[in-house]
A and B are shown apart, each in its own frame.
Chain A
Amino acid sequence: MAQLELNGLGKTYAGGVRAVRDIHAVVEDGEFVVLVGPSGCGKSTILRMIAGLETITEGELRIDGIRVNETEPGARDIAMVFQNYALYPHMSVRGNMEYGLRNEGRPRAEINQRIDEAARMLQLTALLDRQPRQLSGGQRQRVAMGRAIVRNPKVFLFDEPLSNLDAKLRTQLRAELKALHRKLGATFIYVTHDQVEAMSLADRIAILNGGEIQQLAAPLDIYRRPANRFVAEFIGNPAMNILEGHMSDDGWVLMDQGQPLLRLPSPIADRAGQPLAIGIRPEHLHPAPLGEGQQTHALASLQVKVDFTEHLGADCIVHARLENGATVALRLGGNARAIAADSPLSLCADPADLHLFDRQSGQRI
């Protein structure tokens, strides 16, 4: 069990490309942290630097307070599960699982006991003498996890471990992973590009873009209070609606075409006249009118024309268009009636559900 400390971690490749910059984070003992972001955001590079597979060019990495920048991967007391499993193709399941322990020179009895234990936990006991090529994708993934578990490492690292599996298996293994984390109580660091995995697995999510952490927080905090426009648009499906506007002197937020949108409970005085991006999640947009009490604070007449409706069973997503051409999506319950294309609609939302971002920096206001 271990605490992990990333002090200004960075990676600059020989060609001068800066893949990761200035990562500060402390992962607590037993925590499940998910690194998520679009491809090329540096999430895998960070994981590989923690593993020791990639040299650290800037900053410092500490495991349990000890600097490990120069420590060989095998000596860092970590285990890693790879996207393509990376099972040794010529060794049996047992051979794969015990290889690391044999290299450590553990006694035979201990090796066997650890393998039996891990195999039982992962339902691999019957498969121990099989070769990797005789296993299904899900079974291989379990073996890869078993190989990590038997080492009893301080930190488990996962590099998109579920992305080669089909949707159904992915959901099942996600649940198993969560259970495994609870059972082992170990520190997990998990890389994925799938926001559902991130939301469902993590104690805390680190959202990355352009080699930098955009936000590091609990999943719901990220969903409810995205730190900037990137995070707001990255998490959530359909993505958050973003409308461009600016703030008037008296606390009204105006659309760019001059139409007042809403009145803020307390105007942000020093922002008067500044350009803004206004975010509203699809589920927070409602067809007007709302109840009496909310009327005063509600969006002032957001007039849209419906483009088309997607009925997804549990949900109903309506895509609509503002007068200025901007598109918005709203999420209605599964019982909502389809709305005919081109029919006009007025929408409103609770001001508390609005997210305001500085249009230049993208930062939350």
Chain B
Amino acid sequence: MVENRPLARALTHFALIMGVFFLCFPVWMAVVASTHPADALSRAPIPLWFGNQAWENYSTVLSGGIAAAGGVPVGQMLWNSAIMALAVSFGKIAISLLSAFAVVYFRFPLRMVFFWMIFITLMLPVEVRILPTYDVMVNLQLLNTWGGLIVPLVASATATFLFRQFFLTIPDELVEAARIDRAGPMRFFWDILLPLSRTNIAAIFIILFIFGWNQYLWPLIITTDESLYTVVMGIRRMMNAGEALPVWNLIMATAVLAMLPPVMVVLAMQRLFVKGLVESEK
């Protein structure tokens, strides 16, 4: 800023450090709790520093899960989450690229109708159409299937708009040059449009991966088969495991594992993530 006042600077840093503390402390506690035996967490105050049970706790949840909650191994849930997140994000990207390409680079009857149909999905989150969507899934026999878990989430208005926005900034002359170079529409798409969209694809992939990984309501209503449980919704069953008290050290180990992949993605690709997030919403 304009002035240079030491006190103001100190206050600024203090505020930021408080913010960082507020955001990081719960995760600190989760990591700490996941390294202690269960009885260390049975009475207040609980320890604020690491215990020595990390290996035992994490190997227990990864391979065996929590017995009282059905004993679904968290390792398997993580695997399921990964499949779901990857399939949903790649599916969304593929489908959105194609429809944005059609809407921007073609003129055809019903073009605007399709555009508005895609737009309207923004206004219809799963939460507002749970029951009838569930019925559709029942009728199509998609309950407890990978297809049911993934396909309905693959439509994406946000990604379509982002790609449309980006395509509109690509100079017309490139299409013209390609047409003179005998490239048909699909060749133009593969050889020119796709390579030029690389950064945008990577940026939106991060956001979509997080979206897919963090799904909760959808797997909750679509899966009753334990082999399809994802980790974010699976943790709920651990919390509400009948009459037994929650096994906090294992639940926190699971929570840490459930946070790790999406948080790593964000931190590893911070620049791209910030760009993707801020731009996709504009």
Contacts and interface: CB of A to CB of B under 8 A. Distances in A.
Interface of A: 51-53, 72-75, 78-80, 82-90, 99-100, 103-104, 147, 151
Contacts of A151: 181
A236 to B, nearest CB: 32
A86 B175 CA distance: 9
B187 A80 contact: no
Given A88-B174, A88-B192, A90-B196, A80 B180 contact: yes
Contact of B176 (A51, A75, A99, A100): A51
A79 B177 CA distance: 9
A85 B176 CA distance: 11
Contacts of B236: none
A181 B176 CA distance: 23
B195 interface: yes
Contacts of A103: 181-183, 187
29 contacts: A51-B180, A52-B179, A52-B180, A53-B179, A53-B180, A73-B180, A74-B180, A78-B180, A80-B177, A82-B173, A82-B176, A83-B173, A84-B171, A84-B173, A85-B173, A86-B177, A87-B177, A88-B174, A88-B177, A88-B178, A89-B196, A90-B195, A99-B181, A100-B181, A103-B181, A103-B182, A103-B183, A104-B182, A147-B177
Interface residues of B, number: 16
Nearest to A53: B176
A79 B180 CA distance: 7
B191 interface: yes
Nearest to B183: A103
Nearest to B194: A90
A208 to B, nearest CB: 21
Interface string B189-229: 00110011000000000000000000000000000000000
Most chain A Cβ neighbours within 10 Å, of B180, B182, B187, B195: B180
A53 B177 CA distance: 10
Contacts of A84: 171, 173
Given A90-B195, A103-B187, A74 B182 contact: yes
Main secondary structure of the interface of B (DSSP, over half): helix
B171 to A, nearest CB: 7
A90 B176 CA distance: 16
Interface in B147-198: 171, 173-174, 176-183, 187, 191-192, 195-196
Contacts of B181: 74, 99-100, 103, 147, 151
A151 B181 CA distance: 9
A86 B174 contact: yes
Contact of B182 (A75, A80, A86, A147): A75
Contacts of B173: 82-86
A100 B176 CA distance: 12
Contacts of A80: 176-177, 180
Given A51-B176, A73-B176, A80-B180, 18 more contacts: A52-B179, A53-B176, A73-B179, A74-B179, A74-B183, A75-B182, A79-B180, A82-B176, A83-B173, A86-B173, A86-B177, A88-B192, A90-B195, A99-B178, A99-B183, A100-B182, A103-B181, A103-B187
Contacts of B176: 51, 53, 73, 80, 82, 86
Contacts of A85: 173
A82 B177 contact: yes
Interface in B41-59: none
A144 B185 CA distance: 22
Nearest to A51: B180
B191 to A, nearest CB: 7
A172 to B, nearest CB: 24
A86 B171 contact: yes
A53 B195 CA distance: 23
B199 to A, nearest CB: 11
4 pairs of A and B residues whose beta carbons are closest in the complex: A74-B182, A86-B173, A100-B181, A103-B182
A53 B176 CA distance: 7
A52 B179 CA distance: 9
Contacts of B177: 80, 82, 86-88, 147
B243 to A, nearest CB: 61
Nearest to B174: A86
Contacts of B183: 74, 99, 103
B170 to A, nearest CB: 10
Contacts of A73: 176, 179-180
Interface string B56-90: 00000000000000000000000000000000000
A296 B191 CA distance: 73
Nearest to B170: A89
A78 B180 CA distance: 7
A54 B177 CA distance: 13
A316 to B, nearest CB: 43
Contacts of A100: 180-182
A86 B181 CA distance: 12
Contacts of A86: 171, 173-174, 176-177
A104 B179 CA distance: 12
Contact of A99 (B171, B191, B196): B191
A78 B233 CA distance: 60
Nearest to B176: A53
B188 to A, nearest CB: 10
A361 to B, nearest CB: 38
B61 to A, nearest CB: 45
Contacts of B174: 86, 88
A74 B192 CA distance: 16
A336 to B, nearest CB: 47
Contacts of A89: 196
Nearest to A90: B195
A86 B176 CA distance: 8
